[in-house]
C-alpha cells in the first residue's frame, strides 16, 4: 500500500509534502470507520485533498476528522473538524477480539492504547475484584474481563453519560454482563462505595488521576493489591514525582507502595510523556 505522502505527490508543493502526517488513527471496522488526523496548519488549504486520499487508501473510512486543539474538560474531549466524507456518528471498533461501539466526537477513545490495555489485562489473576476508574466506553474493563474470564468483578466508573451509555452497550455486545459493572458517576463519590473490596485499581486519567489516589487506596482490601497509575511528566525527571505521589498516598492509608514497573506509554507533548506505574500495595499491619 502506498503511503499518504506518496499518494499526495504532485498535488501539494514539495516543501509541504514533508508535513503530511505519516500516521493517523483509524477507528471502526471494515463496514465503516473514521480517520482522525493531526495536521500542521500549513496544510489547511489542502485538507480536502488529504482527506480524499486517506479515503482512497482506506476504503472503509467514511469520515475524516482533523484534530483541533488538545483534549479539554472533565470528559477529555477534543474538537474535531470534519474535512472529508460525511458525519457517521458511531462506529464499531474491534481490538484484540472485542467490540467497542462509540462516537469519536462525543467520547474519549484512543486506539493507540490497545497494547497498554492488554498489558494491564494480562496481569489480572483469577478471582480478583478490579476497579477501573475513569472507564470511558469500557475498553480497559472489557479487555480485562475478556483476557481473564475468571475475574470476580470489574467495576467501571465513568462520569460522561454518553461514554457510560456506550460502555453499557459494549458490555452487552461482548456478553460480559456477568463480570463488568458499569457505573455512571464521579469516582470521588462512587469509588468509596467499594471500600476495602479491590485487589486491583486502574486509574487511566493521566491528567489528574493523582487527585483521586485517596479514593483508590480506600478501595484496596486490607491486605493491599496492585495499582495501575497514569501520570504525565517531563523527561528530565520522568518517574520520580509520579511514584512519590503514590508512595505518600499509600502511606497515609497505612500501606507500603512497591514499584513493580514504570514505563513510558506514549509521548504527550514535546519532552512530556504519558507514564504508567504498576505499584504493589502492601499492608503495613498484616
Ligand atoms: C483519558 S479518558 C480514559 C477513558 C478510557 N479508560 C479509555 O482508556 O478509553 C478519562 C475518562 O475519565 C472520565 N472522567 C474524568 N473525571 C472523572 C471522574 N471524576 N469520575 C469518573 N470519570 C471521570 C472522562 O469522562 C473520560 O471518559
pLDDT score at 17: 94
Rounded to the nearest angstrom, the distance between the alpha carbon of 75 and the centre of ligand 1 is: 6
Residue 240 has pLDDT above 90, yes or no: yes
Lowest mean pLDDT among 153-157, 196-200, 268-272: 268-272
For 48, 76, 219, the CA distances from 190, given in Å and listed in that order, are: 45, 19, 10
Q: Which three cell numbers stand for residue 184?
A: 455512571
Q: What's the CATH code, domain 4-88?
A: 3.30.300.110
Is 205 close to ligand 1, i.e. is its CB under 6 Å away?
yes
Taking Cα atoms as reference points, which of 160, 162, 27, 152 lies closest to residue 99?
27
Mutate to test the pocket of ligand 1, among 111, 120, 159, 165 (most ligand atoms within 8 A of CB): 159
Please choose, from the candidates 236, 230, 193, the residue with its C-alpha nearest in 3D space to the C-alpha of residue 213.
230
Ranges of CATH 3.30.300.110 domains, the chain: 4-88
pTM for this structure? 0.96
| pLDDT-based confidence at residue 46 (cuts at 50, 70, 90) | very high
User: Which residue ranges does the chain devote to CATH 3.40.50.150?
Assistant: 108-283
Averaged confidence pLDDT in the chain: 96
- Distance from residue 204's CA to the centre of ligand 1 (Å): 7
Task: pLDDT band for 198, please (50, 70, 90 cuts).
Answer: very high
- pLDDT for the residue 89: 85
Length of the chain (residues): 286
Q: Cα-atom radius of gyration of the chain, to the nearest Å?
A: 20
Instruction: Note the helical H segments in the chain.
Output: 4-8, 14-17, 47-57, 114-121, 139-147, 161-173, 187-190, 213-219, 240-252
pLDDT over 70 (residue 286): no
Q: How many CB atoms neighbour CB 284 within 10 A? A: 11
* Position 69 confidence tier, pLDDT thresholds 50, 70, 90: confident
Q: Give yes or no for residue 27 CB within 6 A of ligand 1.
A: no
Cα angle for residues 174, 201, 97 (degrees, 5° grid): 25
* CATH fold of the domain at 108-283: Rossmann fold (3.40.50)
* Backbone dihedral angles phi then psi of residue 177, each to the nearest 5 degrees: -60, -30
Amino acid at each position: 500500500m502506498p503511503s499518504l505522502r506518496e499518494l499526495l505527490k504532485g498535488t501539494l508543493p514539495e516543501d509541504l509534502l514533508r508535513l503530511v502526517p505519516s500516521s493517523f488513527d483509524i477507528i471502526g471496522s471494515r463496514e465503516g470507520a473514521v480517520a482522525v488526523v493531526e495536521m500542521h496548519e500549513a496544510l489547511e488549504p489542502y485538507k480536502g485533498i488529504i482527506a480524499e486520499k486517506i479515503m482512497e487508501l482506506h476504503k472503509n473510512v467514511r469520515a475524516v476528522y482533523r484534530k483541533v486543539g488538545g483534549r479539554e474538560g472533565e470528559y477529555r474531549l477534543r474538537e474535531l473538524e470534519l474535512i472529508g466524507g460525511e458525519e457517521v456518528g458511531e462506529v464499531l471498533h474491534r481490538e484484540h477480539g472485542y467490540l467497542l461501539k462509540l462516537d469519536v466526537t462525543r467520547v474519549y477513545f484512543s486506539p493507540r492504547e490497545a497494547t497498554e490495555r492488554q498489558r494491564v489485562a494480562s496481569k489480572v489473576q483469577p478471582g480478583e475484584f478490579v476497579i477501573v476508574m475513569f472507564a470511558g466506553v469500557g475498553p480497559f474493563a472489557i479487555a480485562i474481563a475478556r483476557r481473564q474470564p475468571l475475574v470476580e468483578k470489574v467495576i467501571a466508573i465513568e462520569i460522561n453519560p454518553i461514554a457510560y451509555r456506550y460502555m453499557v452497550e459494549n458490555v452487552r455486545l461482548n456478553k460480559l454482563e456477568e463480570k463488568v459493572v458499569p457505573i455512571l458517576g464521579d469516582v470521588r463519590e462512587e469509588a468509596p462505595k467499594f471500600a476495602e473490596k479491590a485487589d486491583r485499581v486502574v486509574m487511566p486519567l493521566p491528567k489528574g488521576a493523582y487527585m483521586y489516589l485517596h479514593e483508590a487506596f480506600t478501595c484496596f482490601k486490607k491486605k493491599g493489591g496492585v495499582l495501575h497509575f497514569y501520570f504525565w511528566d517531563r523527561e528530565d525527571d520522568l518517574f520520580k514525582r509520579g511514584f512519590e505521589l503514590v508512595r505518600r498516598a499509600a502511606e497515609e492509608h497505612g500501606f507500603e507502595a512497591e514499584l513493580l514497573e514504570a514505563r513510558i506509554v506514549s509521548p504527550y507533548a514535546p519532552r512530556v510523556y504519558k507514564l504508567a506505574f504498576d505499584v504493589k500495595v502492601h499492608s503495613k499491619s498484616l
